[in-house]
Amino acid sequence: MKHIIGVYFSFGFWCYCFCFCQWVSVSSVRGFSVVESNRIFSGFASNVIASSRKQFTTIASAGSSLKSTPTSTVESTQQEHEQKTLVLFSPCKINLFLRIIRKREDGFHDLASLFQAIGFGDTLELAPLREEKSTDEFTCNMPGVPVDSSNLVIRALELMRERTGVDMHFKTNLIKQCPAQAGLGGGSANAATAMWGANELMGKPASLEQMIEWSAELGSDITFFLSQGTAYCTGRGEVLTPIDPPLSTGTKVCIVKPNVGLSTPSVFKALDYDELSDLDSDDVLLPAFVNSDGVENVSKEYYVNDLEAPAFRCVPKLGELKESLLKVAGFKHVMMSGSGTSIFCIGEPEDKESFMKEFGESDDVQVFFSEFIDRESDEWFQEPTKTKA
């Protein structure tokens, strides 16, 4: 009997030791995973790190399945929550034509304009914060950009929470390239990009149509950036008519931005209503572009911007810059975008080296080479190439 008891005791003892060793081994691996996870998720990531995150999530999830305590489950959920970082391109726009129709009783102006997205812009990094966080975190690389609740990105996130009822806050980093007061819609694009990204991270509680409707509360141009790349905008700019299919992608465009800025209100203040174009936007201008075999082949008389003349009065050097660009061989059309001060040129300079010596190396202007872009209905815009000269 003693012999039998001894055998059972020995067998039980070794089973205990085996289980204990396995527990220590699993705990060690899990502990390493948590440390590695915290290190990787300690800040905003590049695309390469974001890809590594996805691979690491599989490993972390496998380890988490071994845990059985409520605390472990919460830790796993928090880690997965922090992993979801979106890196989104925020494109700029140009106005292929811009007509001022009338001044409204509320002080705004009705306009009609053909907007086109281009492959030059900013980058927005967006990640959800832990559930206990009650405010958004926002940073930006460009001095002078407000990082408080007055920024359109923060306002867009607040709007998405308010309208969807999803109480999610975000850590957001904006990498700016687009200059201020350029007429390229940089801030509006940032807001639209934030709305799209927030909706993705929230689990898509809002439809595109709803976001288009809500965006009008934030500003006139924001609505356009929720289109697929080409749109006819009326009203204050918030009434969107998508052009489907969009204008051909890849059309080359050069942006020349003088270092002088110009506010939109000052341009409208200098507006002379007797100077406005009499070309009909619906019946003449829009068909001229949409039905063309390329915007470079559209007659120059249809490249109309009613805000050019007042902007040139405010900053005479803008008119001089346009005249200089019109002489560059290779540029088919040259016009100011929006309320300025950027001048866009359709085409490419035939002698790029000479062009860059005259304009690109100047201390007075910045030059950006880009092209027309669009997006698929269920995807966001992608940056085609590096566009800064």
Per-residue pLDDT of the chain (389 residues; tens, 9 = 90+): 444 445 444 545 444 444 444 443 333 322 222 222 222 233 333 333 333 333 333 333 333 333 333 334 334 444 544 568 999 999 999 999 999 999 998 888 999 999 999 999 999 999 999 888 899 999 999 999 999 999 999 999 999 999 999 999 999 999 999 999 999 999 999 999 999 999 999 999 999 999 999 999 998 899 999 999 999 999 999 999 999 999 999 999 999 999 998 999 999 999 999 999 999 999 999 999 999 999 999 999 999 999 999 999 999 999 999 999 999 999 999 999 999 999 999 999 999 999 999 999 999 999 999 999 999 999 999 999 664 44
Residues 294 and 299: their CA atoms lie apart, in Å, by 11
Residues 346 and 293: their CA atoms lie apart, in Å, by 14
- Asked if residue 376 belongs to a domain, the reply is no
Find the DSSP H helices in 165-263: 186-202, 208-215
How many structural domains does the chain have?
2
Is there a single domain that holds both residue 347 and residue 204?
yes
Are 211 and 196 spatial neighbours (Cβ–Cβ below 8 Å)?
A: yes
Q: How many CA atoms lie within 13 A of 57 on its CB side?
A: 16
Is there a single domain that holds both residue 67 and residue 121?
no
Other Cβ atoms less than 10 A from the Cβ of 255: the count is 27
**Residues in Cβ contact with 382 at an 8 Å cutoff, skipping those fewer than 6 apart:** 89, 373, 375
Could you tell me which of 341, 342, 322 has the C-alpha nearest to residue 333? 322
Is there a single domain that holds both residue 49 and residue 177?
no
Could you tell me which of 43, 49, 79 has the C-alpha nearest to residue 61? 79
Is there a single domain that holds both residue 139 and residue 245?
yes
Structure pTM? 0.78
- Asked if residue 208 belongs to a domain, the reply is yes
Residues 259 and 275: their CA atoms lie apart, in Å, by 27
Could you tell me which of 370, 367, 334, 372 has the C-alpha nearest to residue 251? 372
Is there a single domain that holds both residue 158 and residue 246?
yes
Q: How many CA atoms lie within 13 A of 375 on its CB side?
A: 25
Is there a single domain that holds both residue 91 and residue 76?
no
Residue ending a domain, choose from 65, 83, 101: 83
Q: Quick one: 129 exposed, middle or buried, by C-beta within 10 A (0-12, 13-18, 19+)?
A: middle
Domain coverage including residue 105: 86-371
Residue ending a domain, choose from 23, 48, 83: 83
Is there a single domain that holds both residue 332 and residue 185?
yes
> What local confidence, expressed as pLDDT, does residue 318 receive?
97
- Asked if residue 377 belongs to a domain, the reply is no
- Asked if residue 61 belongs to a domain, the reply is yes
- Asked if residue 162 belongs to a domain, the reply is yes
> What local confidence, expressed as pLDDT, does residue 4 receive?
46
Is there a single domain that holds both residue 143 and residue 25?
no
Is there a single domain that holds both residue 241 and residue 226?
yes
> What local confidence, expressed as pLDDT, does residue 107 receive?
85
Q: How many CA atoms lie within 13 A of 28 on its CB side?
A: 6
- Asked if residue 388 belongs to a domain, the reply is no
- Asked if residue 379 belongs to a domain, the reply is no
Question: Phi-psi category of 80—alpha, beta or left, where left has phi over 0 and alpha has psi -120 to 50?
Answer: alpha
Is there a single domain that holds both residue 7 and residue 113?
no
Are 136 and 124 spatial neighbours (Cβ–Cβ below 8 Å)?
A: no
Residues 121 and 63: their CA atoms lie apart, in Å, by 40
Is there a single domain that holds both residue 12 and residue 34?
yes
Q: Which residue has the tokens 């039905």?
A: 291
Q: Which two tokens stand for residue 64?
A: 């988490």
**Residues in Cβ contact with 68 at an 8 Å cutoff, skipping those fewer than 6 apart:** none
Are 159 and 195 spatial neighbours (Cβ–Cβ below 8 Å)?
A: yes
- Asked if residue 383 belongs to a domain, the reply is no
Q: Quick one: 112 exposed, middle or buried, by C-beta within 10 A (0-12, 13-18, 19+)?
A: buried
Is there a single domain that holds both residue 121 and residue 198?
yes
Residue ending a domain, choose from 83, 112, 140: 83
